[in-house]
Structure 1
Amino acid sequence: MFSLNFDISEFLTQYWQKKPILIKNAFPNFEDLISADELAGLACEESVASRVVVTKPNDWQIIEGPFKDYEQFGDENWQLLVQALNHWHPDSSEFINAFRFIPDWRFDDLMVSFATPGGGVGAHIDNYDVFIIQGEGERHWTVGDKGQYAPKNNDPTTPLIESFEPIIDVVLEKGDMLYIPPGFPHQGQTLTLAMSYSIGFRAPSQQELFSEMADALIDANSGLKRFTSSYEPKLASQISSSQQKDMMALITELAANPNCYQAMLGKMLSQNRFELDICEPEEAYTSDDISDYIEQGALLYRIGGLKLLKLEDDSESRIFVNGEAFGYSDAIDADVQQLCEHFSFDNEQAAHLIQTTATQSLLLELLNRGYFYFGE
């Protein structure tokens, strides 16, 4: 069981998306979620997103996985990064649960790093919120204030920057945690063999929202209303200011209509950037199969990384799962809320869920999609 050793309410009020903070001993008696050897083995898998970052004089080399071995990298100046550990390592779900004071739709992934002395990625700025938790070993972190920073080697496409003045300068030890909001430069350098865990939270950009809205309108063959005007400018070559504003008002009209944006947001925000470990059964489950499994004492699990989201004040009764909408009757809303809130269900809880035919039907569909599975 993982529990954070700080005042969450104070954090959300004073720090969340505002400024970085160091929290010493955030996880008392913290133990690593995975061993370095297990992490190295995961990075050998084709379906797991991984990379090695090699530190070079004033530069870094990125090598994408999967990897067959690591002998080529030597004993120092490199680190292995594995994305979305929570998709492939079920034991990490309790760790993720400790951060669910931030809504699920923001959650991106749990990234894990094994680093040798001297390993790091250089000074950089991220466009997402991140919590960095130290496991075994020590890493030296510096965090700077928001500002204008020159990109590394004058490359405008890189998140790396030349340098910054630190406002936080600390050596993280086991159980310590840094929170860094978007836009704050930071850099970590490994002092001893070390394991680190990064919990990332993302939010959509204007560009992403516009793109998703356009795709949704095209798919639904909607948004076909055309611009009309009551007058035309005297100059044939002119687009008047009022016409410009009225054209853009067509977009505002769509953005203000829940029927136009709710399904788009639900589908968009329930998707993952990284591959899920879908557990689709070889043969489709039936209602009798579900009853049999639960009678035999089975537990019910949600696959790692899967998001089940509901929209407040939704125009329909539905949940969004991995980019799809699943409708349900209002009578089982409490059951659906339980499915959304929990990663696993003991045998008694699972038995309660299937007592209602409509809940059992929804659960059957989620099981056959490979989004839930039975286990011991």
Structure 2
Amino acid sequence: MSLDIESFELLLAAVQRFVKERLVPAENILEETDDVPADIVEDMKAMGLFGLSIPEEYGGIGLSMSQECQVAFELGRTSLAFRSVFGTNVGIGSQGILMDGTPEQKQGILPRVASGELIMSFALTEPDAGSDAAALKMRAELHGDVYVLNGTKRFITNAPRAGAFTLMARTGGPGAGGISSFIVPSNLPGITLGKTDRKMGQRGTKTCDVILENVRVPAANIIGGVPGQGFKTAMKVLERGRLHISAVACGMAQRILEESVAYAKERRQFGKAIGEFQLIQAMLADCQAELYAGWSMVQDCALRYDAKPAGASDPDVIMRASCAKMFCTEMVGRVADRGVQIHGGAGYINEYKVERFYRDVRLLRLYEGTTQIQQIIIGRELMRRD
């Protein structure tokens, strides 16, 4: 699955213009209102951004992983909340259905996801199950041809906007083998949302608790129609998502570096631009070198992802995706820290955007699997090898 080279180049150029001409000028509005303007959301739908990763047969654009990462890089060069609006449709909200869903589920859901008519959320995390995803407690009890779901999901991205959830619940015994993945419409009786979370950064993103009390979900809504496969589906979804987030991190590192270089050329101390001082240049050089390394990792791993059979699980690609996610999200944190340092006192003031980007990128090291989870995945795979 990929877009032909000429069409992709046109799409990428359109995304670059959209970021520069529409999103960057709206960053202050986003920060002030804690929301993405409705007209921008409509423009995103018109551009097809909600269906970047969904095949053309379901109304999407059908990008390869490598192409998706290039687009994600460009979208990472502005406030991360803009990408978040459609990020769950492109990634964790839809990919489980695309990878493991039945033909009927794909035909019924994916065209509406690709158009932006239906916003999907990925509901895995719970109050007592985050990194230890196999320990989730939400129960799904079979009664005839429906499952009755009870429990709470936490920190669910786009839940306030969602029309449906890709939701993991326990249909069997303990551990990963007892988890199933459901398509759960958000308007079913018994579903309530908690208050929208107030976060350190990424203003404009929407997360909250999702509470299910005796919610009746048709058994036909189990993704793939087979109970007990939900954990495997979730892990495959997260593997792809980690590459996407890695590319976003690289895009934001590029933006912070550009802001820092511009400030270093403009700000004068001791009679000359601070960028002429070698210690400032050293910080800029460290940012550039780490960004180059991270982006190279992402591009290499994305090509490997595209080369493996569709739907197949390759331990080496899984490990490399974790390497990319770990390195790139930690890298952008260091770049953001240097960006604030280069700006000096101005970097601590909201008027300069490195301050908000510093707060925004901190989350990248937590979701789609923390840095420590990536270390475990990498180390475990290395120990398995002969």
Considering the TM-score relative to the shorter chain, is it more than 0.5? Answer: no
- The alignment's TM-score, normalised by the length of structure 2, stands at 0.26
Q: Which structure has the larger Rg over C-alpha atoms?
A: 1
* Greater strand fraction, Structure 1 or Structure 2: 1
* Greater helix fraction, Structure 1 or Structure 2: 2
